[in-house]
Structure 1
């Protein structure tokens, strides 16, 4: 499945970019002795993310059917919010992320006796942010697409991100980060639109949303969601073969607004760009 792979790849590269910039700056300024603090923060963040995901999954298994649908709707809505915030945050932060992190490292190491904890905290919050965002997205995807394909795809995305992170850190490759984040951002917004439509479906099945239930089109005979192509489209874009008017409106309006805001040029973008273009950590 492409959606879990690409989103985990993007999340992993964002986390690797932040930790790589910090680690590279420490190495370049002769402060490599502080590197273990970065890895401690990373491991703590990964542990928190895994614990949170397991706890939410176990909690949802105890719910009755309607409560389960409501829980899935809440998780899906949270996933939409974090996906959109992730896309727009990186669009804004990428311009100055390197200089901001360098300044934060200098401040952390200048604090008497607090350098270790400050560096652990920087790495922890950078990775935990991406990890917790990923947890809500993956829960929403796993609920919509049961089976091993989605987890394996997500693990593959994380694995590729780790490899690219090390390659960036050691200077072996260059990535056009501006283009990468731009096109994966568009893809993520399309995925988020599908998740938002599925939230309305879950709310209807939970008995909380009964408006705009007229079927817009019915492709159950041509492209059923149970078929191979329908399953692939459902896994990637949350495709549904017979969407209601409410789901279609939510999908179109959400995508029109977010894509317009995301793709419109920012004033002074070219002059201020720092980590965009062929960037090397």
Structure 2
């Protein structure tokens, strides 16, 4: 403990002041580390209290033990709780918490009735959470729809599809997987209890900890979905609406005791399907900030892989979702914030000392604070919602439209209507596949930010190769004789048509999935008042993109064939360089590749980023263009000589 002394006691000689300045960072670092560890230990203590509060009541009835095995487990848990509270860092409330733990243990030994022991456990848990500043509420409102797919992937194999504990892997387990439809037991658990159990597992059972498989937000989503097994969702629109903090901390049993049985059904329904308030930028940026704090705590503890994974999740599930909106207000602020987040992530990957990683994190959080001030805390204005809706579709769709319009103009100008149909089928299938992927990610399997960026990066790099191939191909056939020869030998056979269809598919698919996800996030940020603005912005962008395609198709029809081929070839080769830059950047955001900032200008729309990896990929694309064009010119000279 530290205390302030009088001014006369504070006088130091130069050596003492130097020693104090040298020791201060060490003391601060140790203090922060202790706080992180105490928060984790306090969460474990809360986990034990939740278990006791839920599972003790059925073991004792009228002072007699009904389930001896379970009763022994309760005694062991209360003893473990007492030791855990005793080991927590010194705190003004610690002595009282130790007395409370002893009182709880005595009540269990005396076989007091379940209601009183459960009440003691909940009260002690509330005091402990306040004393050690353990947050028991989610930053982002849980989404049970996301939780449903995660439950199927991780929990259904033991607990069954309906939560009845009848999953195939649960057969023969002792104790058997919990029946999540047991309303009597579930009413003793809060949403936070379910979240905590998912993170810490359950000692003495086959219930594992899912910290490595599910991040914080995903565990809240699964907890909300599990709560739906005992809820009548039609009862959510009752006379009272609870805020997310109360829905997370309180139990249906507590609501029944304080507000009557009539309120229990509504509470169950609302915690299973929390009201989706407007998810403003402040909420998403707060998620990024708190997740980064957890990342640094893991790094200090020596868990570098967990620290890196958390830093990736902090970016992809928080900041990236407000990037488009911030870009429309202050592009430089968006770039600076993104660079600072990547710099912190790279410090973890490079294994830098904790002090340097902490310094980079401090810089990143300062940028996040500035971004939050620019965006505001209450969601997006009407004008910003409109501009965001416009630019998201315009920016993501422009490259796809350029590729499609160039291909279609080329095929129509050369009279290949059968190939035009193949291209139309290609981009039509891309629309179907894009929406199907989004539906799959939203309702069947969970596709997180990392998987989304990985998908975008891979398709962008594949599209870069395909577009480069097509550009060089057009350049080789820019002369009428070469084109007529190709028509006779290849295009009519179907191989050429297939290549065009594949390129059309990937050009549209790589953009569509991300466009949908960005609009989904923008829809939540804008709120009901901004939905019309988002739709208006998207409609405006769609008109502009259709107009651009029409201009290209009309304008290209008036160009001589050789000049048209040359322009198209140059455009497609340039797009291959753009796609290469975008693809590498997406893989960096997914955490697959590191970052190596360099002094260079940036132009996001052209995929030019001041990073060695991204610029290196574009340099490879440019080198490929030079080599392939040089080869084409040599072949042309040989033909002319003959």
Task: With the length of structure 2 as denominator, give the TM-score of the two structures.
Answer: 0.25
Flag the structure with more relative contact order, 1 or 2, with Cα contacts below 8 A and sequence separation at least 6: 1
Task: With the length of structure 1 as denominator, give the TM-score of the two structures.
Answer: 0.48
Which has more radius of gyration?
Answer: 2
